[in-house]
Amino acid sequence: MNRKFYFGLSTTQIIMFSFFLAILAGSLLLALPVSSADGEAVPYIDALFTATTSICVTGLVTVPTYSTWSIFGQLVILVLIQIGGLGVVTVLSGLLIGLHRRIGIGDRILLQDAFNLNSMSGIVKFVRRVLIGTFVVEGVGALLYMTVFIPEFGGRGIWISIFNSVSAFCNAGMDIISEDSLCAYVSNPLINLVTCLLIILGGIGYIVWWDVLGAVRNFRKQKWRAFKGMTLHSKIAIFTTCVLIFAGAAAFFVLEYHNPLTIKDYSLPDKLMASLFQSVTTRTAGFATIPQQNLTNASSVISVLLMFIGGSPVGTAGGVKTVTIAVLFVFAFAAIGNKEDAVLFHRRIPPQAVSKAVAVVSMSFLILFASTVLLAVFADGNVIDILYETASATATVGLTRNLTPTLNLWGKLIIIVTMYLGRVGPISLVIAFHTRKENKNMIKNPTEEISVG
């Protein structure tokens, strides 16, 4: 089925153009003098960079967010982050729902492709639940933040709490506290816990939300069988997320334990908390409680890997996604074991899911490789700093080893394009594969065996 409507544009093209137009509109607003803290217009390239990093919920910044932008500018950034986290199509559909306007078949198809769902059934209800769930979680996060930020910053702490909550849930990683992200709160349990929970809840995916809530409701009747009855998608997402978070935390704890520039002088509880936070934030969140440029090379490589994987599908996180990586691993081990089917949790993985996983990882790796080579040409930095930067941009993370503020014009343009492609490229590729096309040509080319590996 060729899904084309709205001036002949396909759903994939509409989604890509919607992000582009949102970036353009945001950059024009941020380029206004009223958006600047000192009343003088910020250079357009920095306004464009900030709009892109906000819409793409990345978090890399060329100018400090807390000191460069006025309250109006920060409000524009916050709105862009919220739109980017939920998706432009979702926000527009939410406005139509709020105005009690009818959601037509074309809009439903667009929403289905935007969320990469297999059916349009109940799509309006799904969007309504996504919006309500998002605002409830962000509201609770903001209230918890206020218990720390209001005593410290007074009335401004309310705005900081709201901004941080939305940024954390949308996995944007931008804050308006200082240039050092959350490094000042490395020993604060509440800030660490709330931020980690917001990151995980935003990145785990809405499908998992409803699945877990359904299992909890059925727990009284079915006991632990209620959780066994969850969908395969949710089981994979939860299992892979837990493995990556705790394995990453253990790796950072061991590799940074004796590093005097990071956690060596911390107490044991603070070392564990900082290690866990580093593991969680690399899931495309972008906040930092320890300076990224001070990490050992081994920790930096692990961070790059975790950033590349990212969060889970149908959420606010970026990266190639946990389910994608799990499918590839299972398929690879099935091939090694000469097994016909790839099986997870006693369920066979459909071949088309494997094809999508290969396509998404290949596209993301291509973007990462190309941007790394280009940035190496134009940026003044070592290889690990450049790779860290491009991996962060490709997976829309926002962590940097202090390379972003030093980028020249070409470096900024490269990262802008990388962030955009990282946000819409793999998603659009999945949508393109998801679109069913009738095969009118029944004649196929002959098959011939080749040697692989």
| Interval 149-189: pLDDT, tens | 999 999 999 999 999 999 999 999 899 998 889 999 999 99
Q: Residue 213's pLDDT is what?
A: 86
Q: How far apart are CA 153 and CA 155, in angstroms?
A: 6
Residue 119, pLDDT above cutoff 60: no
Residue 439 placed within a domain: no
**pLDDT of 121:** 61
Q: What does the pLDDT read at residue 93?
A: 63
Q: What is the pLDDT of residue 426?
A: 57
Q: Is residue 451 part of a domain?
A: no
Q: Which residues have CB under 8 Å from 96's CB, separation 6+?
A: 102, 103, 107
Taking residues 374-397, report their average pLDDT: 93
Check residues 307 and 210 and name the one with the higher pLDDT. 307
Within a domain: 276: yes
Please provide the size of the chain in residues: 453
pLDDT for residue 390: 96
What average pLDDT does this structure show over 80-109? 67
Q: How far is CA 79 from CA 57, 74, 367, in A?
A: 11, 9, 27
The region of weakest confidence among 46-50, 65-69, 215-219, 261-265 is: 215-219
Residue 72 or residue 84, greater confidence: 72
Task: Find the range with the poorest average confidence among 92-96, 235-239, 364-368, 438-442.
Answer: 438-442
For 13-22, write each residue's pLDDT tens digit: 777 788 889 9
**Which pLDDT score, from 0 to 100, does residue 18 have?**
81
User: In sequence order, which residues have a C-beta less than 8 Å from that of residue 352 and are 6 or more positions away?
Assistant: 433
Would you state the pLDDT for residue 438? 45
Residue predicted with more confidence, 209 or 270: 270
CB 287 within 8 A of CB 168: yes
Q: How confident is the model at residue 106 (pLDDT cuts 50, 70, 90)?
A: low
| pLDDT digits 0-9 by tens, 337-357 | 888 788 888 888 888 888 888
Is pLDDT at 450 greater than 70 in this prediction?
no
Residue 452 lies in a domain: no
**Considering the chain, what percentage of its residues have pLDDT values greater than 70?**
83
CA-CA distance, 355 to 428, in Å (whole number)? Answer: 14
Is the per-residue pLDDT at 94 higher than 80?
Answer: no
pLDDT of residue 130: 84
**pLDDT per position as a tens digit, 218-231:** 877 777 776 777 88
The count of C-alpha atoms lying within 13 angstroms of the C-alpha of 168, restricted to the half-sphere facing its C-beta, is 33
Write out the E strands in 153-277.
Answer: none
Candidate from 85-99, 100-114, 155-169, 432-446 with smallest mean pLDDT? 432-446
pLDDT for res 100? 57
Give the rounded percent of residues in the chain with a pLDDT score beyond 90. Answer: 56
Alpha carbon 128 to chain centroid distance?
21
Which has more confidence, 282 or 116? 282
In this predicted structure, the answer to whether residue 405 has a pLDDT above a threshold of 60 is yes
pLDDT score of 97 more than 70: no
Q: What is the DSSP letter of 154?
A: T
Q: Are 195 and 277 in contact (CB under 8 A)?
A: yes
- Residue 25's Cβ-side half-sphere holds a number of Cα atoms within 13 Å equal to 12
pLDDT at site 385: 95
Containing domain of residue 357, as a range? 4-434
Which H or E element spans position 148? Answer: helix 123-153
Report the domain count for the chain: 1
In this prediction the pTM is: 0.88
